[in-house]
Structure 1
């Protein structure tokens, strides 16, 4: 539902607390006490039908009509049965935000089958009131001096936003962070999530300039998975986001995966979080260490770690952990080695990790760390201290803190031990220096930052050149599925499934079909040589149909040579199917020639559908061995070549190819191309529910799909918005008549976008960006071209270049819409040598029509007062131009759709 009215939760001017009293243990009373203790600057009121005059000095009233004013935020701590009526009364009195701390709303009432949570949702619906909770711990926002929670203590001000789904884990985090002297910009748990969801809160806090990082404790995703992924992706582009995903257990029972072909739902969550560019942690210890890292580390400039300790034992532990987790040990420069020689004892090995020896003093710790911090080959330093007489913990910490304060590098500290180490840790905490108990924890915390950096790099990889799709074949594929659905089938016949692969240029084994045993024998005679016969029936026609006799090859017989062998084996197959499922289950037989002698690698690849995240591409070892599911990897479509390669690299297949293939690049190329074709299928065929190729053979001849099964069903929505090809439009330039196409931008356009930028004059760049700037970096170009189509749109005009070197970009218009779809901000730039071709009008009308179709209320932009051409174009198209004296720009605005709710009117005026 977006961020509407969320400001009233985070920055309320007035609050009323329901159910507050001075009785011991009163949740409402605890909330009032916390609000007073936090020095909330706004108006505080209480409501309690008992008729108290005040609660801890805060005025108390019997009911909502008695309030002197309606609050921005209502906090409800009343008994479960009263909550729905309270919400209804609040809505009727135009209160737009309510936070429900009351628990127990998941139970059903005596009179109704609906849960109390559902009753609350229904009560709020007519009034548009936003609900946070129920069963949440509340919200703490130090910047607003607000502790609206039942937490046992307040929090310090910091730069990390914590968003959780567990109240108890939240209070534990507050206690731990207080002990570590770590603060937060925002701290809240969502509880039952009746209305305000993760996506909305992520969108809100990610726009906060004081929030540098987001820590998300996740049990499950409710509501739109696309909104969730979109919000995470947008947040992770500007802020480091870490996620603790729990929820493997429910009521003491391990949850089984609900996704066909995937044994563990965590595989899908991992895939979703990777696509969002965030880093996942797996334990509460890791969550605490992650918070330490988020709060006290600067952004990484690189991944090379230098390790320092007064002993090789701890150094070895840290180095071993670093290398096992894929980290990089820094190589010391010659200048650094020369500077360290006079400082370190004789016999030092002149390598990283650096051993200070047991007689190291606090001064030696500090001096070596300072020298390393000046090495251009070192990005981060981990200093590990084991307590000795020569280097007391506190004194060493004091010397190191002096170095940290003047160093541009990230310096992590580890104080091993307890009795004397606690004082050193506390000293570092007070000085805002990251500190850890063990070398392994310190390395893990460092690797969270590295993983985030790598995830962002993967997200921003420039995709390979776009390959035009075979539209005619794809239409035939849609017809195959439409015909099956017309016959009310939820599967494709084996022959149809093979045809589907063929239409997407996936090599598939020739298959022949017979209805009875005699037909199989005749086919075998015609084919000659050894054949394989598969019995088709109602179970194995579906993908990922693994019964309790996992991967038993009871429906397939191979290496049949003589007609007699074929008849005997087929008879046995038919009897087996009849015995297990009845004769009516039989769907005939498939006959194939055997493929032997090529030392083939068997692969399992396909498409499945997750109930939360929708279509998923799966990849791993294939065949019929019982451990196939142990090597199952997943990624969310749509995908580019870089993502497809990443999927293959995560599996055992990649290691086998690297070690044994004579043509590893060819093999990787064929596998990634095939995965991209499956991704195309997902986008083209929304009724495609599942597809399994098992086995897919990879050998010296290439790839070959031997067996395939396909299921179909209701349309599904991808968790990540695909390329909107339906918005492409062919045009001709006004003056020259040059043919071109107006289309949404793609990640593959990055090289051409750079060429386009380089052809702009300095004046055009200044008009577009309001200042002179240099050539954009790859990171900037990736952000411009690899866009989230749910949140922004960029249309380019692309045409074949006049020199015949391929397409070139002539102009671009970009519109970025806020999460609530109120306003969309546009920007446009046309190549200087193409002025007068009508591209400005074409692109602006395309942007206007798009925003109007998305029900955006207003489109707006700004330009310099000297840019008379843009101002004239805007007026011609119907914009209203006004001079903004504060910003010294001309604002251009156009209403596209009329607001229908009060909050929309308010937001338009802000």
Structure 2
């Protein structure tokens, strides 16, 4: 939904509370008192059918009809049975926003038997009224003096926004934050989420200038995973986002919710959140520590940590936790070591972590910390204090606070103990200094910032050049799957699965097929040497279909068979074992391959599975047919580029084995990454591909080879992250020169060419495009321009082979950003100066018009400077209506693409 609607919730000019009274424990009464005590400046009223004259001094009316004017926000605390009808009346009176604190709406209605929550949704739908809740704790916005909640205390003003699903966890968070002197810009819980969803709130807060960080607590993902990841990715590009994801599904209900090949849904959530550029915390303690970090830490310049303490015991604990978490200790420069020699005792070990010794004074603490903050190899310092007579806690804290105020480096503190440490920690809190109770907590909080920094780096990496696709082969792959499904099968035969890999140029072991034992013997004699035989049956045609011990797969195999008699005996026993488990008619025959031992091969498992929440997922890890394959299973959401594929591989145990044993590590890494890219292409191009497992995939000095593969089919699925829209590409010729070009959607690999394109624009073209003069864009800006979310915006470029040299160059670009309700899209376009008059403006603008019209956008609009006569003329030529905006001093250009079909759409177009 559009974030403009949310202003009615976060900044309402008038509020009416339904169901408030002065009775003890009245939820509406508590909320009204909080509004009054918080200093809310807007108009307030109460509606209660008992007809009080006032409630806590606020005018009260017996019915909605008696209200002198309708509110911007209605807050409902009425009995559950009355809520749906109340929402219907609010909608009829043109109220557009309602917040429902009433709980108990999940139970069935006595009249119709359906859920009361569903009644509310149906009541709101005809009127376009937006609903927050039910069963939410309310909303607190200190910058607007609004405490519209049942919280027992108000919140302080800060820069962190909190969005939760649990109201009780929310009130606990408020209580803890007040004790730590931590504030918020926004604080709310969503409750059961009838209408307003998490992605919409994230979008609003991502644009809020007073919010620097977003903290999210969620139990279960509701709604579209694509919408959530899209919102998280957009927010995390500019703000630090942390998520506490809890799991409230009982164990006995979880098995059918797991993707085949996945034993822990947390693995998938981790992969999804990491792909979105956010950091996940796992416990309430980590959530509190993360909030401490979010609020007080300065921007990260790196991830190397220096440790300081007046004893090595706490330093050892911190070091262990840091290295266990994948962190990095700073290596001190020679200049720093020499400076520390002047401060520390002679028996100092000249290394990080630094032991100040038990006789350390407050001045020694401060001087050492100050020296470390000037070391170019130190990105942050953790100062840990254990109480002694020589280093009084409070005096030492005061000295450290002085250092913190005079350095851009992050300094974390940990004052251990309780009786004397509490006052010190309170002093740190009051001074805005990050502080923790234990060294391990401090390191965990630091690693949250490191994880965020790493995720951001991955998101903004420039992908390697795109791999050209073999379109004809991929058409054959689609037909292969369509034919199997037409026969009523939800799997491919082994021969078909190998053919599928072959269509994507994935090397597959040469396989022969036989229907009986005699046929296997004949094939083995022809092949010569050792052979492997696999019995095919209804279970092993499906990927990841093996028991927890991995033993059933071994029962389907006979390996290292040499002589004809050995083959006969082993395959006969194999057939008997299979017949014990399946009827004779279910035996699908045998696969026969030459054994591949002797080449020092590493076995790998990679494939595709489908998660019930996030859709298709790529897997990578150690291969084989034992349970060990589950111990090294790494996952990532498609689509992938080479940077993401390499990251997936490097997270696995396979990579550490490769590093130790590979003669050509870079080649092996490139080959495996390329295979993962091809699997990613399969996911995008073959939506009915439900699962695929290559196990084992052999890699050795000769290259890679898929030995065994299985494929399952199902209903078409949607990726959680929108893939590259290859289908939108089309060939063109420039109008005057006849130069060939391609109009297509932009992609991350275009970043170098896009920088070159920008540098060829004249200062005047830049001013007309951006409305001001600006310098060369940074890598982060270029990444934001080229690595776009195709669900939220579209940028088409014209690219053409270079007139001199190899490769392609960018000639022009048009960008269209659509609001969340798909009502309006805003465009911008720029053409290289030396190509004016080639008709590229018309080509790009028409492409944007056609695209937005096809996706159902109602209006395409843009604005340009009054001096930009060329853009104004182009807009008129294409059918836009131009008018002058006196307030902004710009020309606004608008074109209706589709007619509204709902009242709320008409309302949006008029406001």
The bucket for the TM-score relative to the shorter chain is: over 0.9
- 1:508 paired residue number: 508
Deviation at residue 789 of structure 1 after TM alignment: 0.7
- 1:762 paired residue number: 763
Paired with 2:504 and 2:451, the residues of 1 have a C-alpha distance of 35
Paired with 2:3 and 2:768, the residues of 1 have a C-alpha distance of 32
Residue 86 of structure 2: SS of its match in structure 1? Answer: helix
Paired with 2:900 and 2:244, the residues of 1 have a C-alpha distance of 39
- 2:881 paired residue number: 880
Paired with 1:228 and 1:632, the residues of 2 have a C-alpha distance of 25
Q: Deviations over 1:706-734 (max 9, x none)?
A: 11111111110000011101111100011
- 1:860 paired residue number: 861
Contact 1:256 1:264 in 2 (8 A): no
Deviation at residue 640 of structure 1 after TM alignment: 0.4
Q: What aligned pairs does 1:485-504 form with structure 2 within 5 A after superposition?
A: 485-504=485-504
2:620 equivalent to 1:619: yes
Paired with 1:367 and 1:884, the residues of 2 have a C-alpha distance of 59
Q: Deviations over 1:853-909 (max 9, x none)?
A: 222233333333333322322232233344444444443333333444455445445
Deviation at residue 419 of structure 1 after TM alignment: 1.0
Contact 2:142 2:185 in 1 (8 A): yes
Q: Deviations over 1:319-347 (max 9, x none)?
A: 33223222222333444444444333444
Single out whichever of 244-253 and 187-196 deviates more from structure 2: 244-253
2:895 equivalent to 1:897: no
Contact 1:617 1:635 in 2 (8 A): yes
Single out whichever of 594-603 and 521-530 deviates more from structure 2: 521-530
2:697 equivalent to 1:734: no
Paired with 1:670 and 1:229, the residues of 2 have a C-alpha distance of 29
Q: Deviations over 1:248-279 (max 9, x none)?
A: 54389776652111001111111100110001
- 1:342 paired residue number: 342
- 1:638 paired residue number: 639
Deviation at residue 545 of structure 1 after TM alignment: 1.2
- 2:225 paired residue number: 225
Q: Deviations over 1:169-202 (max 9, x none)?
A: 1111111001001011111111111211111111
Residue 117 of structure 1: SS of its match in structure 2? Answer: helix
Deviation at residue 294 of structure 1 after TM alignment: 0.6
Residue 406 of structure 1: SS of its match in structure 2? Answer: coil
Q: What aligned pairs does 1:149-168 form with structure 2 within 5 A after superposition?
A: 149-168=149-168
Q: Which runs of 5+ in 2 are unaligned?
A: none
Distance 1:902 1:337, change over 3 A: farther
Contact 2:165 2:217 in 1 (8 A): yes
- 2:75 paired residue number: 75
2:476 equivalent to 1:476: yes
- 1:202 paired residue number: 202
Distance 1:394 1:98, change over 3 A: same
Q: Deviations over 1:555-596 (max 9, x none)?
A: 121222333333333333333333222223222222222222
Deviation at residue 311 of structure 1 after TM alignment: 2.6
Deviation at residue 390 of structure 1 after TM alignment: 2.6
Distance 1:412 1:579, change over 3 A: same
Deviation at residue 446 of structure 1 after TM alignment: 1.3
Contact 2:128 2:904 in 1 (8 A): no
- 2:706 paired residue number: 705
Paired with 2:615 and 2:220, the residues of 1 have a C-alpha distance of 14
Residue 114 of structure 1: SS of its match in structure 2? Answer: coil
Paired with 1:518 and 1:655, the residues of 2 have a C-alpha distance of 44
Q: What aligned pairs does 1:68-467 form with structure 2 within 5 A after superposition?
A: 68-247=68-247, 249-250=249-250, 257-467=257-467
Single out whichever of 726-735 and 627-636 deviates more from structure 2: 627-636
Q: Which runs of 5+ in 1 are unaligned?
A: none
Single out whichever of 802-811 and 557-566 deviates more from structure 2: 557-566
Residue 767 of structure 1: SS of its match in structure 2? Answer: helix
Paired with 1:341 and 1:768, the residues of 2 have a C-alpha distance of 57
Contact 2:127 2:904 in 1 (8 A): no
Paired with 2:45 and 2:586, the residues of 1 have a C-alpha distance of 70
Paired with 1:774 and 1:788, the residues of 2 have a C-alpha distance of 25
Distance 1:334 1:767, change over 3 A: farther
- 2:534 paired residue number: 534
Q: Deviations over 1:614-665 (max 9, x none)?
A: 1000111221212321221110000001111111111111111111222222
Contact 1:256 1:263 in 2 (8 A): no
Distance 1:860 1:632, change over 3 A: same
Distance 1:369 1:548, change over 3 A: closer
Q: What aligned pairs does 1:596-745 form with structure 2 within 5 A after superposition?
A: 596-745=597-746
Deviation at residue 450 of structure 1 after TM alignment: 1.2
Paired with 2:592 and 2:173, the residues of 1 have a C-alpha distance of 61
Distance 1:390 1:237, change over 3 A: same
Q: Deviations over 1:787-816 (max 9, x none)?
A: 111111111111110113111111111222
- Count of residues in correspondence between the two structures: 910
Paired with 1:109 and 1:280, the residues of 2 have a C-alpha distance of 38
Distance 1:252 1:490, change over 3 A: closer
Distance 1:112 1:672, change over 3 A: same
Contact 2:271 2:637 in 1 (8 A): yes
Deviation at residue 314 of structure 1 after TM alignment: 2.3
Q: Deviations over 1:201-229 (max 9, x none)?
A: 11111111100000011212111111111
Deviation at residue 26 of structure 1 after TM alignment: 2.0
Paired with 2:865 and 2:549, the residues of 1 have a C-alpha distance of 72
Residue 405 of structure 2: SS of its match in structure 1? Answer: helix
Deviation at residue 429 of structure 1 after TM alignment: 1.0
Residue 5 of structure 1: SS of its match in structure 2? Answer: helix
Residue 542 of structure 1: SS of its match in structure 2? Answer: coil
Single out whichever of 72-81 and 841-850 deviates more from structure 2: 72-81
Contact 1:257 1:264 in 2 (8 A): no
- 1:803 paired residue number: 804
- 2:589 paired residue number: 588
Contact 2:257 2:612 in 1 (8 A): no
Contact 2:517 2:571 in 1 (8 A): yes
Deviation at residue 401 of structure 1 after TM alignment: 2.0
Single out whichever of 206-215 and 35-44 deviates more from structure 2: 35-44
Distance 1:372 1:215, change over 3 A: same
Paired with 1:554 and 1:237, the residues of 2 have a C-alpha distance of 50
Paired with 2:901 and 2:58, the residues of 1 have a C-alpha distance of 37
Contact 1:4 1:820 in 2 (8 A): no
Contact 1:190 1:197 in 2 (8 A): yes
- 2:844 paired residue number: 843
Give TM-score scaled by structure 2 length: 0.96
Q: Deviations over 1:408-434 (max 9, x none)?
A: 222222211111111111111111111
- 1:783 paired residue number: 784
Residue 649 of structure 2: SS of its match in structure 1? Answer: helix
Paired with 1:818 and 1:363, the residues of 2 have a C-alpha distance of 56
Paired with 2:799 and 2:439, the residues of 1 have a C-alpha distance of 54
Paired with 2:586 and 2:2, the residues of 1 have a C-alpha distance of 49
Deviation at residue 161 of structure 1 after TM alignment: 0.6
- 2:835 paired residue number: 834
Residue 123 of structure 1: SS of its match in structure 2? Answer: helix
RMSD: 2.1
Deviation at residue 608 of structure 1 after TM alignment: 0.5
